[in-house]
Each structure stands twice: as structure tokens, then as C-alpha cells.
Chains A and B, each alone.
Chain A
Amino acid sequence: MAPNVDQPNVDHIVDMAPAASNRALAGVLHAAMPFMLVLACAVALPFAANDYWTLIGTRAAVYWVLVSGLNLVVGFGGQLAIGYVALLTVGAYTASILVLGKVTQPWPAYAAIVAAGAMGAASGVVIGLPALRLRTFYFAMTTLGFATIVTQIVLAWQSVTGGGIGVPGPALPAPFDGTAGLYFFCLGIAALCTWMTANIAHSRFGRALVAIRDAEVAAEATGISKTRLLVPVFLFGGAAAGVAGALFATLQSYITPDAFTFDLTILFFIAILIGGRGSIIGPLLGTIILTVLPEFAAPLVAWSTFLYAVLLLVIVLAIPGGIAELLDFANRKPLESARAIIPRPDLLAGLLGHGGVHEPIALSGVTLAFGGVHAIDGLDLMIRPAQVHGLIGPNGSGKTTTLNVISGYNRPDSGRICFGAHDLGHRAPRTRAGLGIARTFQTPRLIGEASVLQNVMIGGTIDGTATFLESLLSLPRHRRDEAVLRREAMLAIRAVGLESLAAVRADRLQHSELRFMEVARALMLHPCFLLLDEPAAGLSADEILRLGELIKKISRRGTGVLLVEHHADLIFDICDHVTVLNLGRELASGTPSEIRAHKEVVSAYLGA
């Protein structure tokens, strides 16, 4: 997510105290400025230019209606649906055929546009579903396949679609029948789509989309279900494309299969990439540029496909951030260099300790082998609430694998993992979040382009109550969700000591700061159990001390902590219980002092 281009300044929105609500409003206005500017220019266009430029403007608006939806799929969700022109075709034909009255009584144009949206939504899900199972290239291929199939069906189904001869597009009644009328109609829908996608972008759905794009593993750990997230997005993207198709047919006045070219699908795609993934104003400008530019470069038309391709290559390789990054002035300000992370464990009270679970996580007889090598070999482990449980051992002793088994990324070959009445062994990773089991990763999994605040808010995704539709329309429940999430995220950020960095892009942070950010994200789940995978790696001695203090305080609020760590000092300082692993088995287990005295451990591992 490219913050601050289309987003209110974080300072303004985090603090929702009544006194600050005016400032919050100012923030929203500030964020909406570029959109207002574009809209003002757009409204002035028919008065300043002739019908030709109004037509080009209409085209840009129609394309943007499609691109705004596709932007959520591609720009936010990272799903490379290349063949989206198929949905434009579906929408265009649906509206045209219904208005023409070939299959039923002729429909009114507005009803036909709505129907086109509905057909588009249904088709959007059909085209999108393979994304839930297939890898990128495969998915891209299937969307291209769909595009071909749709064209062939249109050609073959002559009695309805007119085959190669096509059908006339729907004509809107007055006042939207003339060039300017149609323009304002399309502009209105385009503005509506912009508002709706912006609502989604700034909701838990938008953040979760970016999370599955850039940090799928972390998204699972926070309980985000790819299926439940993508289906509504495909529905919305398809509906937008379907409506765009209906408007396209109206604009073209007549549609034939050859109007839906491969170049068009590439144009949509490039508009998003030029604009910058995860932005809205960027792709909007991209769409306008790509619609208008060819009109100035008409003599180059023979090379247009080639030029699009060059553009695509240059953007992907040279300016992956697109227009949005160029406009992101706020994140070019240098950060304070001598900054320190000062956690405030006292704030944890606002986040932890309200749950009533007092059951341990119990592993019994767990084994797991990778290609014949036993990573875990009959492990029993008991992680208790309100305690810090250290897990140490040499490299390859099975520490991280144990953590992965508990959080579901690896399924045990045998043995049981129980959490109260729940058998966790064969459940998917994303089920852990709902049970209050949070984790961090050895290599921080984050969204580099999003702010620290947004990254942390992702942790609370499953706590949202508003549905996709409510968020789309910015209904009260959505706004309440956002306010609550922001407040909690800010609290978590302050608790781990990153307050001054809340609005900064995560990829500008130092490694140690990212570790604390991951802890903050995990805290958003109000976890009963927190699994930390080498959180102290890369931290300075001071930072390790503060981290240890923070972890200890977290456990004292009732949360059970499993700490996989190499830093023996940290382990012995804060752990209530330590298990030493070797070759996938327990070598020793006990209190820190018992372990320190354990002969085998001392000779084999501690080496003291």
C-alpha cells in the first residue's frame, strides 16, 4: 500500500478523541484532494473541449470503472488476472442483448446495466476461482483461456449474440443520450467506483488483500482466509467490469467480438502497474494517461502493442512503485537516525488479559519427517498460559519445525497437538488466529509498502464485524471497525515502542524495529499464546533487554509464550520453563536453573 497518497495522514486519524475529530476530517480531505482535482478537471472537460475529447474522456471513465475493480484484484490482491477483457465482453453483451430484447422482452437500459453488473460478478468469480488453487503463471494462463472461450462462445451463439455481426449497444434515455450526457453518466459511475474501492482499500479487506499479496504466510497466521477474502473481491471486480462492459457497448454504439482485443486487456493491466500496486490514485492516472496518450500518438499506432510491452517491462523492472511512489512525498523525508525503541509494557493491559482461557497447548508424541530425515521425533511438550517457555537447541534440532507444527504450517506425521478440547494437528494455519494463537517469523513477514500502522492493523483482521458490502459502502459498522482497529493498533505500537514510526513505510524500518512491529501485529489478536521465532536475532544488547522485559510482561498478562531463541542469556533471564531439543527429541526440560545444571546440555550445547 502506498500510504499518504490516497490515505489520510496517520497522525490525524489515530487519535479519535472528540477534540481531534476536526483534524481527522481535515486528514480525509487532504487524502481526497487529488481525487477532487481529477474530478474537477473531468467535470470541466465537456465545457472546455469538443465532442471528440468528451468521447475520449468517456472512454477513460468507462475503462476506469473496470480498472478500479481490477485494481483490487491485481494491484491489491496481486492476483495476475490477465484476461479481464472477457468480463468486459460479458457485460457488454449482457446489456446489449437484454435491451435489444432478443431473449426476453426488451429491458430498460438502466436495468440492463445492473444485469450486466450481476453477470459480470458471477463471471468474475468463475474466472477468479482458479486463483485459489493455482500458482501465478497457471492462473494467468487460465484467465487467458477464459478470454478465448468467451470470444468463441459469442461467435458461435449467433442466435443470441449475433455472432460475427454483433449487436447494437444499449442507448440511454435522456438526459444521458448525447455525448456529454453519456459522459456525465459514466463519470458518475466512475466516481462511485472510486469511492467504493477507496473504502475497501482502507478497510480490513484492502489490507488483507495486500497481505496475501506480499506476506501470504503472515496473512494466514493472522487468520485471513484467502477464499473468503477473494470471493467478494472477484464479485466486486466482476461487477465493475460488467457495468464497464455495458457502458462500453453504449459508447461504441455497436459491439462485435473484434472490439474486445488483447490490447485492451493489456491496457487495463498496465494502467494498474503504471499507477503503482496498492494505490488508487496511481492507477486512475494510469488509466487516463493510457487512454489519452494513443490519441496524441496516432501515427505510432502500428507499434502500439510493442510500446505497451516496452512500457510494461520498464515499469516492472525500473519503477515497480509506479506513479504512486513518485507522488509519495511524505515517505522521502529522512527518518530520525538516532531513534530508540522504548516499549511501554504498562499499555499491555489495554490489549491482553481479558480472555478466560487457562488451558495449555500440549504436544504428545509428535513426529515429522522431511524426505526420511526426522525433524521432530516423538516430542512431548506442554506450553502453559502465563509462562514463558523457552525452546533451545542446536541448528536442525527441530525448534522452528516445532513452532510450525503448532501454528499449522507443517502437519505432523503422528502424535497429537491439543489446545484444550481442540485437536490442532490437522487444521489449516489460519485456524490458529481464531483460537488466540499468534506468532512471529524468523524473517519478518511484512508489507514493505504499507505503513507500520497498517501492518499492525492487519493483525486484527479477524476481529472486524463489518461485511465486505458494509465496507464497500462505508456503513457505520465499517467505520466503527476501523476506529477500533486503529485505536488498538496504535496501542500495540506504543506498547512495543514504535510510536514515532507509525506512519512510516515498513520497508524503511531497521531490522530490529521490524521484529517489534511483528510482536505488535501478533498482539492485535489478543493472543492466549504467542509463538516467537528468534525474536532477538539482529537486535542490540539493549534492545534484547527491552524485548525480554516486554515478553515477560506479556506472559504476566496471562499469555503463554513459546520462545525459540539462540540467545541463551535471554532464555535464562525470562523463561519460566526451558526445553532443550536435539535431533528432534527432548534432551532436557526444566526450569532455567535446572537446565543450567544439566550435564548433557552444558557439554553438548551450552559449551560452558
Chain B
Amino acid sequence: MLASIIASGLAIGAVYALIGIVYNTMYSASRVMSFTAGQIGMLGGVLGSLFILRMGLTPIIGFLLTLAVCSAIGVVTEIVAVRPVLSKLDQHLYVLTTLALTMMIQQVTAIEWSTEPQPFPRLFAIGERGPFDQRFWLPLAACAAVFVGLEFLYRRTLIGHAFLAIAEDNYAARALGLPERNLRVASFALSGAIGGVAGFAAGQLLLAFFANGAMLSFYGFVPIAIGGLGNNRGAVVGGLALGVVQQACNFIFGGIFASVAVFLVFIVALLAVPQGMFGMATVRRV
């Protein structure tokens, strides 16, 4: 019993963590937080189901196609909702452009896919294993792989260093001759792919359901808001903790009070520590 709560809590938490990393990846390249983070996660599940169950492709091909499309959506986010706003005086407008894009993705999915949750295929032909079932460990494995992969990328590769330089100070990076815009597009593609991985790995748990996007946008944001924006470690720790706490609340209190509790904790925590626990200091204003 405890095992099953922990298993599902960690699994859901891993999805939240991955969506948090999507937010972070977009943010570090552009200083923009995009509502689309959760929608891309939702699409990971819907596209996986579409390619494998409806179109009958093999899981590997389906996975790669899902990643490709999700990356493309990431790039579209950059081109449509982020790039035009960065050139404007009032950069807060990104809140509205990404919200608009989010609504468009969700509505198209609802109409063209279904408003009912659709099944997601079992990826490995092994039996149901209780708390150790693939639908629980897949998101965790995906989260671990993405986290380690990103650490490797940022620490060991040239392009990773370039990403970090942009994140650190994008004017300076541009002055150094880094192709700031291309790097930003690349990180949005990367974040799209991460969202795709998240949704695909969580497909069996969350099902291919259009309303998952809004849910993930919020719950994926909670860990980074509390942990600190731009910090992947904070996202992972916060995400996993959130998942387990949420499942525990579901078990202890039951019903809808758990989600209300999460909202309240989120708002209070934010008010207490607006920068997040591992957040950065305020930027210079004058």
C-alpha cells in the first residue's frame, strides 16, 4: 500500500519535474516562462498514442516522431510567441502570447483528437508488476535520463557552454559573437523534446488526454516556482516531493482537498519566498 502510493507519487512527481525542466530550458535561453510547457507534455502522450495505436507504427519510430513534432512545437513557440515579444518594450507580453498559443494547442487537440482520455500503448511486453510496473518507473527513468543528459550537455559540450553563456548574460554572449538567436531556437527545440519525452514516458500513467496540458502547466510550474527558476536540481527535488505529497494527501484526506491544498501551499510559499528557495537575486533595474 505504502509502496503503491510512493510509486505513483514519484512517477507523477517525475513528470512534474520534467515539465519544470522544460520551463527552465525555455527560460534560460529567453528569460521567458511559457504556458506551453505543459501542453507539450500533453502532446507527448497524445502523439505517442496517435503514432503507435492509431497509425500502427513501432514504439521506437513513434517515440522519435513524437520527439520530432514536440521539438517543432517548441520552435514554433519561440517563433510565434517569444521572438516577437522579446523585441518589444513590454516584454511581459509573453504571458499573453504563450497563453494564446497554449489555448490554441489545447483546442486543436480537443477537436481533432478527443475530449475523452485515449489509451496509450504499453511499451514493453512485460506483465503488470504492481508498484514496479512500467507506468511508474518509465517517468522516473525518463527524468533521470534527461537530468543526467542535460548536466552532460551543459558541462561537457561546447554548445552546452554556449547555452549557459546565454543564460548567464545574453548581451555579453551576443557581444562575444555567439549566435544568440540560433541558440535560443535550439533550446526551445530541446525543451520541446524534453516535454515530448515527459509526455511519452508518462503516457500510460496520464493517458492521451487533452486536459493534461493545463494540469501539467500548473503542477510543473509549482516545483520551479518554489525551488527557484532556472535550477534543474530544484525542479527535480521539488517535482518529486510534490508528487509524493499530493498522492499522500489523496490518501490521507481524499478527494479534491488535496488539489486545493497544493494551490494554497503554492501561493503562500510564493508570497513568503518570491524568488524561490534556490532562486537568483533580482536583476539590476537602473
Contacts and interface: CB of A to CB of B under 8 A. Distances in A.
Interface string A128-158: 0110011111101110111011001101100
Interface residues of B, number: 41
Interface string A261-302: 000001001000100000000000000000000000000001
A313 B81 contact: yes
Contacts of B284: 370
B239 to A, nearest CB: 16
Given A80-B96, A141-B225, A306 B108 contact: yes
Interface in B268-286: 270-271, 274, 284-286
Contacts, number: 111
B263 A149 contact: yes
Interface in A140-189: 140-142, 144-146, 148-149, 152-153, 155-156
Interface stretch (B52-60, B82-90, B143-151, B177-185): B82-90
Given A133-B271, A138-B274, A306-B103, A217 B95 contact: no
A312 B102 CA distance: 11
A438 interface: no
B104 A306 contact: yes
B270 A312 contact: no
B68 interface: no
Contact of A145 (B266, B274, B286): B266
Contact of A409 (B99, B266, B286): B286
Contacts of A303: 107, 111
Contacts of B252: none
Nearest to A263: B103
Contact of B286 (A269, A306, A310, A404): A404
A316 B256 contact: no
A148 B270 contact: no
Contact of A302 (B33, B92, B100, B111): B111
B135 to A, nearest CB: 26
B259 interface: yes
Interface in A287-343: 302-303, 305-306, 308-310, 312-313, 316-317, 320
B263 A145 contact: yes
Nearest to A142: B267
B263 A448 contact: no
A214 interface: yes
A171 to B, nearest CB: 32
A152 B260 contact: yes
B221 interface: yes
Interface string A235-267: 000000000000000000000000000000010
A134 B95 contact: no
B84 A156 contact: no
A137 B102 CA distance: 14
Given A145-B263, A309-B107, A137 B95 contact: yes
A310 B97 CA distance: 9
Q: Among the interface residues B89, B96, B286, which one has the most CB atoms of the partner chain A within 10 A?
A: B286
Contact of A316 (B97, B260, B274, B286): B97
A136 B98 CA distance: 13
Given A152-B256, A313-B101, A305 B107 contact: yes
Q: Among the interface residues A133, A136, A137, A305, which one has the most CB atoms of the partner chain B within 10 A?
A: A137
A309 B116 CA distance: 22
Nearest to B275: A135
A441 interface: yes
A78 interface: yes
Contacts of B270: 130, 133-134, 138, 142
Contacts of A134: 270-271, 274
Interface string A527-560: 0000000000000000000000000000000000
A136 B88 contact: no
Interface in B91-142: 92-97, 99-104, 106-108, 111
Nearest to A147: B263
B80 interface: yes
A241 B274 CA distance: 27
A525 to B, nearest CB: 18
Given A133-B274, A308-B103, A309-B104, A145 B267 contact: yes
B264 interface: yes
Report whether over half of chain B's contact residues are helix, strand or loop; otherwise say mixed. Answer: helix
B89 A217 contact: no
Given A130-B270, A145-B218, A155-B256, A82 B111 contact: no
Nearest to A127: B267
Contacts of B256: 152, 155-156
A138 B100 contact: no
A312 B97 CA distance: 7
Contacts of B260: 148-149, 152-153
A129 B274 CA distance: 13
Given A305-B107, A309-B103, A448-B89, A137 B97 contact: no
B36 to A, nearest CB: 12
A78 B264 CA distance: 25
Given A134-B270, A152-B259, A316 B100 contact: yes
Nearest to B222: A141
A317 B99 CA distance: 13
A136 B95 contact: yes
Contacts of A217: 285-286
Interface string A71-90: 00000001010100000000
A313 B108 contact: no
Contacts of B107: 303, 305-306, 309
Interface in B157-201: none
B225 A138 contact: yes
Contacts of B89: 214, 448
A370 B267 CA distance: 31
Contacts of B100: 309-310, 312-313, 316
A141 B286 contact: no
Contact of A317 (B97, B102, B106, B285): B97
A80 B95 contact: yes
B218 A141 contact: yes
Contacts of A273: 96
Contacts of A135: 274
B20 to A, nearest CB: 13
Contacts of B103: 266, 305-306, 308-309, 312
B255 to A, nearest CB: 8
Contacts of A136: 92, 95
Interface of A: 78, 80, 82, 129-130, 133-138, 140-142, 144-146, 148-149, 152-153, 155-156, 214, 216-217, 266, 269, 273, 302-303, 305-306, 308-310, 312-313, 316-317, 320, 370, 400, 404, 409, 441, 448
Given A133-B274, A136-B95, 20 more contacts: A130-B271, A133-B271, A134-B274, A135-B274, A142-B266, A142-B267, A145-B263, A216-B285, A306-B108, A306-B111, A309-B102, A309-B107, A313-B80, A316-B96, A316-B97, A317-B84, A370-B284, A409-B286, A441-B286, A448-B89
30 contacts: A80-B96, A82-B99, A130-B270, A130-B271, A137-B33, A137-B94, A138-B270, A140-B99, A145-B263, A148-B260, A149-B264, A155-B256, A156-B256, A156-B257, A217-B285, A217-B286, A269-B96, A273-B96, A303-B107, A305-B103, A305-B106, A305-B107, A306-B104, A310-B104, A312-B99, A312-B100, A316-B85, A316-B93, A409-B286, A441-B286
Closest 7 CB pairs of A and B: A309-B103, A313-B100, A312-B100, A306-B107, A137-B33, A309-B100, A136-B92
